[in-house]
């Protein structure tokens, strides 16, 4: 069974207290995120790391504080979450290859990962039978990714100790929606066993 991991938006602006859209306590996820990402590398599991990538004055900033502006430190991932062999996919449709890459850095302009024209082609190239999803924020970008992957009909696991929410009630509703749609809740330990 071929698995692919989706590591959603684990970027400095979200993870650290000095980040511009800090998700409270998210820095505590870093050991779990690091373990998952390096487990993927050790097991030959392709790792898709989505990245919020905004221009200055991005339309999203009408609704959210400015964050993850291209060229700023906050847009980067912490070093411990990077794997050695990486490819970076921009938001423009492109004829890309993921051959030989351990980590696919997948830039997106919008909360919903499926809004990127490269999302469906990426799923085709991954040809996975199962998906594992984690990152931030549970009720926004993680939710969009998890539900979109469930809609492919393949099994999807959400790693409950490697996600973080901005609102406990919204998180509970998201997890319920996810399991009602057939998703499975798992822990880091179960995934990395």
Contact residues for Zn ion, defined by CB under 5 A? 52
Do residues 28 and 154 make contact, with C-beta atoms less than 8 angstroms apart?
A: no
Q: Which long-range contacts (CB under 8 A, 24 or more apart) does 21-25 make?
A: 21/64, 21/65, 21/67, 21/68, 23/136, 23/137, 23/164, 23/165, 23/166, 24/164, 24/166, 25/164
Nearest to Zn ion of 26, 128 (CB atom): 26
- Shortest distance, position 13 Cβ to Zn ion, whole Å: 9
**Token pair belonging to 177:** 């929606």
Say how far apart CA 88 and CA 106 lie, in whole Å: 6
- Shortest distance, position 46 Cβ to Zn ion, whole Å: 23
Nearest to Zn ion of 52, 175 (CB atom): 52
Say how far apart CA 81 and CA 138 lie, in whole Å: 19
Residue nearest to Zn ion (CB): 52
Nearest to Zn ion of 30, 111 (CB atom): 111
- Shortest distance, position 67 Cβ to Zn ion, whole Å: 6
Nearest to Zn ion of 52, 89 (CB atom): 52
Nearest to Zn ion of 108, 159 (CB atom): 108
- Shortest distance, position 149 Cβ to Zn ion, whole Å: 19
> From its phi and psi, is residue 68 left (phi > 0), alpha (psi between -120 and 50) or beta?
left
- Shortest distance, position 187 Cβ to Zn ion, whole Å: 27
The closest alpha carbon to 86, from 71, 113, 105, belongs to 105
Say how far apart CA 119 and CA 78 lie, in whole Å: 23
Do residues 60 and 108 make contact, with C-beta atoms less than 8 angstroms apart?
A: no
Nearest to Zn ion of 52, 132 (CB atom): 52
- Shortest distance, position 113 Cβ to Zn ion, whole Å: 11
């Amino acid at each position: 069974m071929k698995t692919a991991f989706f590591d959603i938006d684990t970027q400095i602006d979200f993870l650290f207290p000095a980040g511009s859209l800090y998700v409270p306590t998210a820095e505590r996820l870093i050991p779990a995120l690091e373990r998952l990402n390096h487990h993927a590398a050790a097991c030959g599991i392709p790792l898709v790391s989505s990245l919020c990538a905004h221009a200055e004055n991005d339309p999203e900033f009408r609704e959210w504080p400015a964050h993850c502006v291209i060229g700023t430190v906050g847009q980067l991932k912490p070093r411990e979450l990077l794997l050695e062999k990486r490819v970076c996919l921009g938001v423009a449709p492109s004829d890309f290859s993921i051959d030989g890459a351990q980590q696919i850095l997948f830039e997106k302009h919008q909360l919903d990962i499926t809004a990127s024209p490269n999302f469906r082609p990426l799923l085709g190239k991954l040809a996975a039978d199962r998906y594992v999803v984690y990152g931030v924020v549970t009720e926004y970008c993680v939710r969009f990714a998890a539900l979109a992957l469930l809609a492919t009909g393949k099994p999807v696991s959400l790693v409950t100790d490697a996600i973080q929410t901005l609102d406990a009630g919204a998180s509970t509703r998201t997890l319920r929606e996810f399991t009602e749609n057939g998703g499975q809740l798992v822990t880091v330990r179960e995934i990395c066993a």
